[in-house]
Chains A and B, each alone.
Chain A
Amino acid sequence: MIEVDQLVKQFRAADGSLVEAVDGVSFSVAPSEIVGLLGANGAGKTTTMRLLATLLSPTAGTARIAGHDIVTDPLGVRRHLGYLSATTGVPDRLTPREVLEFAGRLHGLDRAAIADRTATLLHTLGLESCESRPCGRLSSGQRQRVSLGRALVHNPPALVLDEPTNALDVVGARDLLNLLDTLRDAGRTILVSTHRLHEIERRCDRFVVIHAGRVVAQGTQREMAAEPGSLERAFFAAVEGSGGA
């Protein structure tokens, strides 16, 4: 379960003024649910996700991941959250197997668990054929799958994925989204953001539209994406209705 409660994050802009990148955002994501966080560039999606991943501290408000508060229990959050961002890279000189094993060690897994999770993820993510090749020699899609594997190595109940399909081609994006379907069916709580509305309009159970740091629309798939292309119309209607775009 992801519960976001009046989350606020202020940054100081170049002219010295305070900018509220995230301004009182509230929403929730239930287990076995994929929620799409939609917004234009600079809307506050990445900041919201970094706050959830405890990479940033909120100015006000809070959020809970699997019952752990991001302000008072960041370590608890990290133990129960898998995070993947658009800018997340993989070490060029390590192999996918080494990346996953190392991530497992940092999450406190024992040797047997690390071996088990690594084997499972290499198989599930289709990385067995390149498991011993340095990541620097992998394709963008393979690298992104390694990143996702790293986010999943400790078997977290919640996933926060910031534009995970950004660097992927159509096939790679489809495979990754299929994997998200599988993870949802396995009971995971998934929050995903993307610019590519058409990719996720049939995948997400609910959508949260964020604009200028505020939530401007929320709704189920039936409400916002009943037919192909309607998600895009709903998105623009929400953003224009809030005075943006």
Chain B
Amino acid sequence: MSDHERQNRWAAIRGVAGRDLLEFVRDRRTLFVTLLMPMAMYPILALASTIGLRTALADLDARKAPLPVELVLSGVDADRISERIMAIVDSGSSFPIDWPASVAIRVESAVASKRLIDSTGADAWIHLPPGAITTLDGLKTLPVDVRLADARRNESRLRRHILAIVKALADDARLRRVTTAGLPRSVLEPIKVQFADEVVKPTDLTLDGVLPTAVGAVLVLLALLTATGGFYPAIDAIAGEKERGTIETLLITPASTRDIVTGKFLGVFTVTLMSLAANAISVSLTIAVLLRLLPKGLDLGISTSLAAECAGVAILAFMGLAAVAAAACLAVTSAAHSTKEAQNTLTPVILLTSGLASASLVPGVGGPLVALVPFAGQVWVTREALVRESSLPIGFLLMLSLASSIAVTWILLRAAAVALADEEVLFRGPDSASGLTTRPAPRDLPTPMQGFGVAMVAFAMLWYVNGLATADPIVALPIQQMVLLGPLALITLWQRVNQWQTFRLVWPSGPGRGSLTLCAAALAGVGLFVTGAAVLLAARGSELSPAAREMAERLVSLLVARPWWVGWLLISILPAVCEELFFRGWVLAAFAGKRPSRSRAVTAVLLQAAAFAAFHLIPERMPQTFVLGVVLGWMTLKTGSLLPAIVAHAAHNAVPLVFLGLASSEWLPDLGGKGLPPWVVASAVAAAVAGLAIVQTTGTGAVFRTAGK
């Protein structure tokens, strides 16, 4: 590319960004949502929560406040016991905890006492057995019956008050017994604690435990509002242009679709950053105001340097979040024809982002892998800067998050450029997209929206099934795979998508080369598993998350207790067939389309691999499954057939079965948790490289070639 062309490209990108920004700042709706709403929202939320908190505290105080208690005593020694209690009250000495506000005592006969308590003329009736005083002053235990008034029977505060009065009476009796026995009072107080230093401003108030949760909640809100900041600008930038008929005027200029999308991204990103800044300023001011309202002497547990560091991490991480949000909004609206369609599609995406951000607050969720997840990662890293639960340096985690943000933004912008140039999206009528209830015309491949929709439905169902289904793998594993294939089969038939062209179950490559391709795929699958396992062992040792450990234990029990072919069927063959049909069949075909450009093919492979990794639900498996997904996606595009991916996947999953078989026959040496021997790792890497090299050579490069019916 010459300097002149580069300058022209940059001028076009700046031109698009500048024009969009000019339009945004002249749009009152955008200004309101991005700037004014955040400035007003936090004070309103803070005010509402402060009022709520104060009301709750006042209610709590009222509940804790001591009540006056009216007792009625009956029994022979009731008068003398009453005198002792009143003497305690009058002494004004330190009362036990839960002492009532005041004590009033009446002495009545048992019959009169019962009548009084039945009519709620007293709060509690204590009936003393004969010889109560003698027992109290002697060495035995005095049994006492207490009955609360019916209307106050469920008041725990009253019960505590009665127990406090009885405790005071018991303390008095203990003292009398000690005196009678001629023992010193110190018998009752073997230890007396005295602190050497005096606390000038004693306070129990600290936000140490509350702060991470409060900060997490604020960060999730900040993430949601930042993403919302890109909502209207993105809709206006693409769907709005389509609706106004101005998008054509961009597409007929010498600027490429990618440059147009980049320019629009810069515009939306700028507005999203403005929204982020408005949110951050507003939330900071609100927190400052709230801190002034808190009691003096409150310990926040944060030093100034830590606060400054947290702010720095937050700014950088949330800039990444703003970029991803802007790109996601653009990618979604690029596939919509009208603003209404864009709003309908974008709303669930915004909700999804808040779900991801909230997921980072779940106890136990964290680590470098979470830092890579869009929206969850940025929130987690920012919160981590404050709470420091991870042993990894915060700078490293921030770099991971930023790298992930850049990569995800790049992929989303590629997807946006593909959708923007799609003739069907560009020129079909606003409401011509067929719903699920109307059968559309037969088509060769699923649309990107169908790919995305089916993946979302299957993911949700898989999650439900994993949570609700039986733990027995022999039932759970087939159900999981059926959850993938069930919706897929229905939508394929109902939406009249060509199964042959979508799933491409054809012999790979030319005559005589198919067998070699399949063998190479199997070799690559084995090599990838062992290499992945070696990397995992090196990174984590034998330490596994509870979920991963539970799954491994379940699988081992399945393999040990059943015939060998059950394990092979459920772990190797069934997932290989079902998951390949789903991910490398449906999802990849939907995202790549027919004969995709190189950039679209790369984007499609990365997206389906990300979905494949997410479907495995266990974080430490995700990197390995992502890499496997990328390789299998590439293999499918390279050979124009799904069979190599199925064979490679089956071989990949079969490796642990082989290892287990060798272990039971004592062929496998004890690794002692030290990781795999170097020669095994080297062989695995060589096998993977050799297998992929052969597929690269034998693959025809015919992407999604038409399969014979």
Give the B-binding residues of A (Cβ under 8 A): 12-17, 50, 53-57, 75, 78-79, 81, 83, 85, 87-94, 98, 102-103, 105-108, 134, 147, 150
Contact = CB atoms under 8 A, between A and B. Distances in A.
A102 B252 contact: no
Given A55-B426, A93-B26, A105-B15, A87 B249 contact: no
B668 interface: no
Contacts of A94: 19, 22-23
B563 interface: no
B441 A91 contact: no
Nearest to A57: B423
A57 B496 CA distance: 25
A106 B23 contact: no
B41 to A, nearest CB: 26
Contacts of A107: 253-254
Q: Which of B18, B26, B248, B423 has the most CB of A within 10 A?
A: B248
Interface in B382-438: 423, 426-427
A12 B19 contact: no
B443 interface: yes
B184 interface: no
Contacts of A103: 249, 253
Contacts of A15: 441
B11 A105 contact: yes
B245 interface: yes
Which 5 residue pairs spanning A and B have beta carbons closest together? A89-B245, A105-B15, A16-B441, A89-B244, A16-B442
Given A89-B244, A94-B19, A106-B254, A150 B441 contact: no
Given A15-B441, A16-B442, A16-B496, A75 B19 contact: no
B245 A91 contact: no
A175 B254 CA distance: 29
B438 to A, nearest CB: 10
A102 B19 contact: yes
B213 interface: no
Contacts of A88: 245-246, 248-249
Contacts of B423: 55-57
A89 B246 contact: yes
B246 A79 contact: no
Nearest to B441: A16
Contact of B441 (A12, A57, A92): A12
B251 A55 contact: yes
Interface string B62-96: 00000000000000000000000000000000000
Given A15-B441, A78-B254, A81-B252, A106 B245 contact: no
Contacts of B472: none
Q: Give the interface SS of chain B, mostly helix, strand, loop or mixed.
A: helix
Contact of B253 (A12, A90, A106): A106
A55 B252 contact: yes
Contacts of A14: 440-441
B23 A93 contact: yes
B245 to A, nearest CB: 4
B27 interface: yes
Interface in B1-56: 8, 11-12, 14-16, 18-19, 22-23, 26-27
A226 B18 CA distance: 51
Contact of B249 (A54, A105, A150): A150
Contact of A91 (B246, B256, B426, B496): B246
B250 interface: yes
Given A12-B443, A16-B441, A150-B249, A92 B244 contact: yes
Which size bracket describes the interface of B in this complex? 20 to 34
B254 A75 contact: yes
Nearest to B247: A89
B676 interface: no
A44 to B, nearest CB: 14
Given A16-B441, A55-B251, A55-B252, A108 B12 contact: yes
Nearest to B4: A108
A144 B256 CA distance: 25
A55 B11 contact: no
B255 interface: yes
A85 B254 contact: no
Q: Which of B14, B18, B252 has the most CB of A within 10 A?
A: B252
B250 A106 contact: yes
Contacts of B254: 75, 78-79, 106-108
27 contacts: A13-B441, A14-B440, A14-B441, A53-B248, A53-B252, A54-B252, A55-B251, A55-B427, A56-B427, A57-B423, A78-B253, A78-B254, A81-B252, A85-B248, A88-B249, A90-B246, A91-B23, A93-B23, A98-B19, A98-B22, A102-B19, A103-B249, A105-B14, A105-B15, A106-B12, A106-B16, A108-B11
A60 B15 CA distance: 34
A39 B254 CA distance: 30
B262 to A, nearest CB: 13
Nearest to B15: A105
Interface string B252-288: 1111100000000000000000000000000000000
Interface in B496-517: 496
A91 to B, nearest CB: 6
A91 B245 CA distance: 9
Contacts of A106: 12, 15-16, 250, 253-255
Given A92-B244, A93-B26, 12 more contacts: A16-B442, A50-B427, A79-B254, A85-B245, A88-B248, A88-B249, A89-B244, A89-B246, A93-B22, A107-B254, A108-B12, A147-B249
Contacts of A75: 254, 256
Nearest to A80: B254
A149 to B, nearest CB: 11
A104 to B, nearest CB: 9
Given A12-B441, A98-B22, A55 B15 contact: no
B499 to A, nearest CB: 15
Contacts of A79: 254
B365 to A, nearest CB: 43
Contacts of A13: 441
A12 B594 CA distance: 15
Nearest to A108: B8
A78 B256 CA distance: 11
A55 B27 CA distance: 29
Given A16-B441, A108-B254, A87 B245 contact: yes
A16 B105 CA distance: 93
Nearest to A153: B253
B27 A93 contact: yes
A83 B246 CA distance: 12
A53 B427 CA distance: 14
A80 to B, nearest CB: 10
A71 to B, nearest CB: 14
Contacts of B496: 16
B421 to A, nearest CB: 10
Nearest to A81: B252
A93 B250 CA distance: 16
Given A12-B441, A105-B15, A106-B15, A55 B22 contact: no
Contacts of B249: 88, 103, 147, 150
Contacts of B251: 55
Q: Which of A17, A81, A93 has the most CB of B within 10 A?
A: A93
A84 to B, nearest CB: 9
A236 B250 CA distance: 37
Contacts of B244: 89-92
Nearest to A79: B254
Nearest to B8: A108
Contacts of A16: 441-443, 496
A178 to B, nearest CB: 23
Contact of B15 (A12, A57, A93, A102): A102
A76 B250 CA distance: 15
A184 B197 CA distance: 100
Contacts of B14: 105
Nearest to A147: B249
Contacts of A134: 26
Interface string B222-260: 000000000000000000000011101111111110000
